[in-house]
């Protein structure tokens, strides 16, 4: 009987010891393995170079210069068609799949991500419109400059033709002179792209709007990082971060 009592006492002490050790164990904290340049603030800051260097379609004799003012990926809700867990799962969107890999969202995550994107759109809307308006003004300035270049070249060509008609130059001289005017005109029109880029970089108002847009994007990316699991965010951001690099 005494042996049984001793055995029960030993088991009780052992149980208390094990329970005490478990109680003292530190809770497991998820490790953030994303790189520094994959963090919301860093990505937001890198967006500045993209906005400062928009895609520009050069002006030509038949086409006007066009500035792609605002990166289209900032307007895209990449989680709108993401797959959702459960029988009511969403459609597999190839555009989204490229940056989500194989993970699925819960219904709650999907709703939170949708709300975060809506908040970003509201935050950016006015600043985006004003930024685009500045670029439309630059496009208009380039268009006027191009018209002046073309008009100047036409006057030169008319003068050359008059010299030929008056017998002051030969046909070969006329051809050579007209070709040179055309070359100068083409070079002057092509140079307008560089002038447009300078105007973009020197616009104080545009720089202010860029800063506000970047702040909105940082808040949005921070929300995404909080909504997704660490593994989901790491998969998504390693692909999505490429969009913040100037092409």
Whole-angstrom distance, CA of residue 228 vs CA of residue 38 = 14
Q: Please determine, for residue 2, whether its predicted confidence score (pLDDT) is greater than 70.
A: no
- Per residue in 135-185, pLDDT (tens digit) is 999 999 999 999 999 999 999 999 999 999 999 999 999 999 999 999 999
What pLDDT does residue 241 have?
Answer: 87
Question: Which pLDDT does position 242 carry in this prediction?
Answer: 86
User: In angstroms, rounded to a whole number, what is the distance separating the alpha carbons of residues 59 and 146?
Assistant: 8
pLDDT band per the 50, 70, 90 thresholds, residue 246? confident
Mean pLDDT of 15-36: 55
CA–CA dist 42, 36 (Å, integer) = 7
**Nearest Cα to Cα of residue 91 among 79, 101, 99:** 79
Q: What is the pLDDT of residue 82?
A: 76
**Does residue 33 have a pLDDT over 80?**
no
- Per-residue three-class SS string for the chain: CHHHHHHHHHHHHHHHHHHHHHHHCCCCCCCCCCCHHHCHHHHHHHHHHHHHCCEEECCCCCCCCEEECCCHHHHCCCCCCCCECCCCCCCCCHHHHHHHCCCCECHHHHHHHHHHHHHHHHHHHHHHHHHHHHHHHHHHHHHHHHHHHHHHHHHHHHHHHHHHHCCCCCHHHHHHHHHHHHHHHHHHHHCHHHHHHHHHHHCHHHHHHHHHHHHHHHHHHHHHHHHCCHHHHHHHHHHHHHHHCCC
Of 17-26, 90-99, 161-170, 178-187, the range with the lowest mean pLDDT is: 17-26
The CA-based angle 178-139-191, given to 5 degrees, is 40
The mean pLDDT of 215-223, rounded to a whole number, is 96
Q: Residue 30 has what pLDDT?
A: 53
What average pLDDT does the segment 57-74 reach?
Answer: 93
- Percent of the chain residues past pLDDT 70, beyond the cut: 79
For the chain, give the mean pLDDT: 84
C-alpha Rg value of the chain to the nearest Å: 32
Phi-psi region of 204 (alpha: psi -120 to 50; beta: other; left: phi over 0): alpha
User: Is 246 within 8 Å of 51 (Cβ atoms)?
Assistant: no
Phi/psi of residue 84, each to 5°?
A: -110, 140
| Mean pLDDT confidence for 86-93 | 48
Full-model pTM: 0.76
Residue 145 and residue 108 in contact, taking contact as beta carbons nearer than 8 Å = no
% of the chain exceeding 90 in pLDDT: 61
């Amino acid at each position: 009987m005494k042996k049984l009592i001793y055995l029960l006492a030993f088991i009780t002490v052992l149980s208390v010891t094990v329970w005490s050790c478990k109680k003292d164990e530190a809770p497991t904290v998820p490790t953030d393995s994303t790189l520094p340049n994959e963090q919301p603030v860093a990505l937001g800051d890198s967006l500045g170079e993209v906005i400062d260097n928009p895609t520009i379609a050069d002006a030509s004799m038949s086409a006007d210069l066009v500035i792609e003012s605002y990166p289209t990926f900032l307007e895209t809700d990449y989680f709108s068609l993401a797959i959702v867990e459960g029988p009511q799962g969403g459609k597999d969107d190839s555009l989204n799949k490229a940056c989500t890999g194989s993970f699925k969202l819960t219904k709650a995550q999907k709703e939170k991500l949708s709300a975060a994107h809506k908040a970003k759109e509201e935050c950016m809307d006015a600043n985006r419109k004003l930024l685009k308006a500045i670029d439309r003004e630059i496009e208009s300035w380039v268009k006027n400059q191009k018209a002046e270049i073309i008009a100047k070249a036409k006057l030169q060509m008319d003068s050359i033709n008059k010299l030929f008609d008056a017998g002051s130059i030969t046909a070969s001289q006329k051809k050579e002179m007209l070709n040179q005017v055309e070359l100068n005109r083409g070079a002057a029109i092509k140079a307008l792209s560089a002038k447009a880029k300078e105007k973009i970089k020197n616009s104080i108002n545009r720089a202010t709007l860029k800063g506000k847009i970047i702040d909105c994007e940082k808040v949005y990316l921070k929300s995404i990082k909080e909504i997704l699991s660490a593994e989901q965010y790491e998969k998504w951001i390693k692909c999505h971060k490429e969009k913040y690099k100037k092409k």
